[in-house]
Structures are given as structure tokens and as C-alpha cells.
Amino acid sequence: MEYWRRFLSQLGPTRVIGTLGGLYIGLAIIRGWIWLEAGYSLLNVTLITSMIVVPGATLLYGSYRLSRSDVDSNFYPDVAGWTLAGFGAMAALLVTYHLQPEGGISSPGTSPPILTAISSVGGFAVGIHDARAKTRTLAVEERNRELHRTKRELEESERRYRTLAENFPNGAVALLDEELRHTLVAGRGFEKVEFSADDLRGERIQDVYSGEVLERIESNYRATLEGEPTSFELTVQGRTFEFHVHPLTDDDGDVSSILAMSQDVTERKLREQELAKRARQQEAVADLGQLALETDDVDELMEEATREVADVLDYEYCKVLDLLEADDELLLRQGVGWRDGIVGEARVSALEDDSQAAYTLEHDHPIVVEDLGTETRFGGPELLTSHDVRSGISTVIGPFDEPWGILGTHDTERREISEEDVSFVQSVANVLAEAIERQQYRSELEGLVADLEESNERLEQFAYAASHDLQEPLRMVSSYLQLVERRHADDLDEEGLEFLEFAVDGADRMRSMIDGLLKYSRVETNADPLEAVDLETVFEDAREDLQLTIAANDATITAEPLPRVQGDDRQLRQVFQNLLENAIAYSGDEPPTVRVSARRNGSDWIVTVEDDGIGIDPEYQDSVFEVFERAHDRDAGTGTGIGLALCERIVERHGGDIWLESELDEGTAVSFSLPVP
């Protein structure tokens, strides 16, 4: 039988049925045409032909519709087999009947086609019915297998779910029905609370919880029963749990139960709080550091520091103790939390053995007290005991060998103090120490600057007075030397005239030095306000002042375009004049050539006066801007040794710098900077 089914499957069941139907139709048409040609009546031919054509057409149409019917394709060979079986059974019956001795078919050309066609259709109908029955049976079996598979999957899923729920780490999973009754509870989140999953299973939440806990849970659970997922945090028996609740729906989409997942996040919350506390400590240190840079009031900084330390650590008290000059007492200079009238008045011994302050001063690290009642190192001064202080941190402000005072923070409860808390207090103490040191340095610097300004003022006054007072006797010496030269020149020999010339020359140089010293001493006092000036005009004025010197030395002076700067035009003309005089005086044997230029450098203009003269020996280049220091021997040119020093002081008054670059016998370039207006 199975062989027959495979054979039909290879031929194509629908092809076999359709071919059989087509053969009947073809046979009926050919037979009808032959009978009509033979003279049979049309009615008789039509009737007999239709009895063959209709079953053939039925088979042909059935083969076409079979693939579109509800019959499974696996049973198409069965339909074809039943069809052929109907055909074969009728054919066998007809052959048997026809072979009987007294039998025989009266119309062999008519009856067999009609009967076998009808029996084939009958077999096709039986095959369709059988195939449909088998298809339904197959569907039922497949459904049963699917149900069994689904059941196994559900059982496996439930097993995995129960395993997952029972091993849910650090939390619990619960299913609750519409009455908020726990139908399933599992997980490992009950290890640190005083109830278990068994205590909840089968119980309504109203029978388990009470008070604010019940109110919080019930409101969120009922919101979830309305179809809204909820999340919330809840503290139960000192543990913090994070809940996530989701609605579960039935086939109609209605919420039939809720799934609640909770996790113990106590340690995570503690870590977050600790991290937030550390961040707050760092922020407080940064804020205090910024305040220390912005304010000159140390007491304001101390007050803010004590407030910040107390707030960040959540302590009752904080204080700054100032070590007095006698080094035997500490003054409560600033603080928070203390009774009224204490701050600024209370004093603590820096020497008594039973004093936390004295003990702190003796050690180069912070002192931590977690319980003053059990402390054996000291008993605490009256300031602490009268305020019921029990714990705290104290540390020295400033260097251990020269402490400025103590920063301390205290609380009335026993506290577990971490290393981070200690580091925070020490960091604040360091900020205070740096601020105090900076204030002391600033005070010392301001005093030193005031002393220097006063000294400079006295020196300027002395230089001006000395220079001014020297003018009169020097003028008298010069006058009498000139009188001797006029009246007694004929009475002096050559050597006497030479001596007289030396004396006159010395008096003239002394007068020049005194004039230069007067100008040098009055750069600050005898000056005009700085304003925008045109260096082109200033330079031309200086060159005009030196016109005779330029002509006498056949000097060539060129200048590039010069900018506008912020300055005192009278003093800047003095600078140009001094530099041009030096360039001409130390030009060597060749006619002097001087070039003046300017270039922009950020917010400054750099002005350069360059010559091709004899240059300056490197030995003297570092000292040429000092008063009475000369870059050359007196034989090389005239000069008082004040010109470049005066230039430097004028440029510095303008907020600039002056420098030179020179090579011996190659020339010198003197540059100075001036601010852009």
C-alpha cells in the first residue's frame, strides 16, 4: 500500500485524477461524433455522451480544486488511489459479468464507459471524505502534540521562573491577584528583615503591612491594577527597597494580577550618600579656597569655614582656636553652634594635660575622638564638656612647629569617623593656614613696600636737595676758574694752562652729572600724566633739539613710521635725545648712521634705535643701565653715566622695559617697549 502511495505521489495525484477525467471527456466526444456520423439520433447521443462527460468533468474539476480544499497535501495520493480503485472495481465487475457463460454485456461500447466513469467519481468522493477525515485526525494529533509541547514549555518556563524568583538576588518577586493577595513570593531579599516569603505567601498586603508602609504599597499596587506600571522606594525595618510593579493581563486585555519586583538597595544608597558627601566635601574645600583668594578678611573666611564643616559633616559645633602670643592659651575666635557670647571670649588652655586642644598641639596629625566619655588620652576642656560634646575631630592650623591655632568640629552623639572626614577637616585647616600665611605675607609685603616707598622718597628728596645745593658752589668754582683764565693766562706756563683746562673740564662734567642726577631723581615727581602721544612728533622734536650736534658730526638719522603710544611726551623726548646722543658720540671714525624703527608685539610697541658705531664690550652690557656706569673709557666719548639709567627709569614709569644688543665694533641697538593706547 505504501508503495502504491509513493508511486502515485511521483506521478502526481492531481495529474492522475485530471488525466482520467480528461480521458472520459475525450472518449465521450469522439464516441458522440462517431454515433452522429452513423446516424444515431441527436437526443440519444447527447444523453449517453453527457453521462460520460459529466463524471469526466467532475474528475477534472475535482483535480483542480483539490489543492484549494481543506485536504492536507499528504493525503492527495489517497484521493487518487480511491478514484482509481472505483474505476478498477467497476471495470473488474464488468469483465467478470461479461465472461459469464450465459451472461455478457449487451452494449459493450456504451455501458462500460458510463459505469466506470460513475464509479471513478464515486471513488473520488470516497477518497475526498477519507482524506478529510485523515486531515482532521492529523490536525487533532498535531494539536495534541502542540498542546503537549506547550505544556512542557509552560512547565519548563514555570520551573525556570520559580528558580529565578527563588534565587532573585538581594530582592524578591511577588505575584498578587486583584485582591492584592500574594499568590507567589520568592527571592533572597528576606535575609536582612524579620519576615520571610512564607509569611507573605497567601496573605493580603493589608494583613501584612500597616501605617505609612501599607499606604505607600497599596497606593502604588492599586495604580498598577488600573494598568499603570509604578516604581517607588520604601524603607522597611531599616532597609531601603526599590520596587518595580507591572500589570499582567488576560486574553481579553484586562489586568488580572500584578508582578512586583523589589530589590534591597540599602548598600547602594549608602554608597551614593557617601559619594555625595565626599563630593560636597570637595566642593566645600574648593569654595573655601576660592573665598580665600577673593577676600582679605580672614575672620570672614574662618566663619564660613566653621559653618561649612559643621553643615557638611552634620556636626553640632565647629570652632577655630587662635593661639595667642603667649602660647599658653587659645582664643575661640570663630565658631558655630556654641552658646551666645562664647565666640570671641572663651579661652582654652594650650598647656593643660587634660585638654584636647593641648593634646592636638602636641601631635602632627589630626586627633579623632569617637566617644569622649571613654577617652583615655584626655578628658576634654570645660568648653567641650559644658556643651555635652561626645565626639569630634581637631587638627592644627599651620605648620606643626609653628602652629597658628586649631580647627575642631564636635557633636553630641557618638560618631563613626571615616578617614575621608578627617582628610576633609585637614584640607579646610590647610586652606585656613594658607590664607593666614598669605595675609601675614601681604601685611609684611605692604609694610616693606611702604618702607621702600618712604626710603625712595627720602632718597629722591636727598638727591634733589644735594644736586640743587651743589649747583651754587660748583657755579662759583667755574666762575673763578674762568676769571683766573682771563686775568692770569699770560702769567701761566704751558703746564699751568693745562692744569687750568683740566679744572674747567672737570667742573663742566660735574655740572652735567648734577643736571643728570636732578633729572633722574625727578622722573616720578616732575612728570606729566600718561596719555596718547604721537612718537613721530616726539622724535622730530628730539632730532630738532640735536640739530647742531647732528650737523657737527655729519650724522645721518633715518626713521620708519612711528606709532601712537601711551606716555609722557616730554620724558619720551628725553629718551630719544639720550639714545641719539649716545649713537652719535660713540660712532667711531666714520660719520654716524642711526636708524629708528618700531614694530607691534601684542599689546606693546617695540621701538629700536640702532647705530653702526663702536659697540659695547660684553663685559659692560649688563651694567650700562646703572647710574654713573659707563660703557666706554672717557677717551671714547663724553658722557656722565646717567643717560641710559635715566632712559630706563622713564621707560619703567611707562610700564615698559629697555634692553640692548651690541657687538664690539659692529654697532648697538637699544630697544624699549611702550603700551599701545
- Cα separation, 171 vs 234, whole angstroms: 13
Q: Which H helix or E strand runs over 672?
A: strand 667-675
Mean pLDDT calculated for residue range 175-202: 84
Burial of 318 (0-12, 13-18, 19+ CB in 10 A): buried
Residue 634 pLDDT greater than 50, yes or no: no
Residue 485 pLDDT greater than 60, yes or no: yes
Residue 511 pLDDT greater than 80, yes or no: no
Mean pLDDT calculated for residue range 352-366: 83
Q: Tell me the three-class secondary structure of 314-356, residue by residue.
A: CCCEEEEEEECCCCCEEEEEEEECCCCCCCCCCEEECCCCCCH
Residue 673 pLDDT greater than 90, yes or no: yes
Task: Measure the CA dihedral 304/307/313/319, to 10°.
Answer: 100
Residue 658 pLDDT greater than 60, yes or no: yes
pLDDT confidence of 636, banded at 50, 70, 90? very low
Q: pLDDT by residue (tens digit) across 141-188?
A: 888 888 888 777 766 655 655 555 555 567 788 888 999 999 888 777
Spatial contact of 579 and 541, defined as CB atoms under 8 Å apart: no
Residue 605 pLDDT greater than 90, yes or no: yes
Q: pLDDT by residue (tens digit) across 218-236?
A: 999 999 999 999 999 988 8
Q: For the ranges 36-50, 100-114, 267-281, 594-608, which has the lowest average pLDDT?
A: 100-114
Q: Which of 610, 646, 642 is nearest to 631 (CA)?
A: 642
pLDDT confidence of 443, banded at 50, 70, 90? confident
User: So what's the pLDDT on residue 561?
Assistant: 93
pLDDT confidence of 553, banded at 50, 70, 90? very high
Residue 80 pLDDT greater than 90, yes or no: no
pLDDT confidence of 669, banded at 50, 70, 90? very high
Per-residue buried b or exposed e for 87-100, using 16+ beta carbons within 10 Å of the residue's own CB: beebeeebeeeeee
Spatial contact of 558 and 592, defined as CB atoms under 8 Å apart: no
For residue 185, list its beta bridge partners. Answer: 174
Per-residue buried b or exposed e for 121-143, using 16+ beta carbons within 10 Å of the residue's own CB: bbbbbbbbebbbeebeeeeeeee
Q: What are phi and psi of 108, to 5 degrees?
A: -60, -25
User: So what's the pLDDT on residue 196?
Assistant: 82
Mean pLDDT calculated for residue range 426-437: 90
Q: Which of 668, 491, 500 is nearest to 581 (CA)?
A: 668
How big is the chain by its Cα radius of gyration, in Å? 60
Residue 430 pLDDT greater than 70, yes or no: yes
**Residue that the C-alpha cell 686775568 belongs to:** 487
- Cα separation, 145 vs 387, whole angstroms: 82
- Cα separation, 330 vs 322, whole angstroms: 5
Q: Which of 19, 136, 149, 145 is nearest to 74 (CA)?
A: 136
C-alpha cell at 550: 647732528
Flag whether the pTM goes above 0.85: no
Quick one: CA dihedral 625, 626, 631, 635, positive or negative? positive
Spatial contact of 204 and 181, defined as CB atoms under 8 Å apart: yes
The whole-chain average pLDDT of the chain stands at: 82
Q: Which of 649, 195, 194, 508 is nearest to 185 (CA)?
A: 195
Mean pLDDT calculated for residue range 381-410: 88
Mean pLDDT calculated for residue range 259-287: 86
pLDDT confidence of 541, banded at 50, 70, 90? very high
Cβ count near 56 (within 10 Å): 24
Mean pLDDT calculated for residue range 653-657: 90
DSSP 3-state percent helix, strand, coil across the chain (nearest 5): 55, 20, 25
Q: How many residues does the chain have?
A: 677
Mean pLDDT calculated for residue range 381-407: 87
Mean pLDDT calculated for residue range 366-370: 89
- Cα separation, 453 vs 450, whole angstroms: 5
User: So what's the pLDDT on residue 378?
Assistant: 81
Residue 193 pLDDT greater than 50, yes or no: yes
Q: For the ranges 230-244, 282-296, 435-449, which has the lowest average pLDDT?
A: 435-449
Burial of 79 (0-12, 13-18, 19+ CB in 10 A): buried
Give the residue with greater pLDDT, 20 vs 452: 20
By three-state DSSP, how is residue 173 classified? strand
Q: How far lies 661's CA from each of 497, 583, 587, in Å?
A: 42, 13, 16
H helices present in 248-325, as ranges: 266-294, 298-313
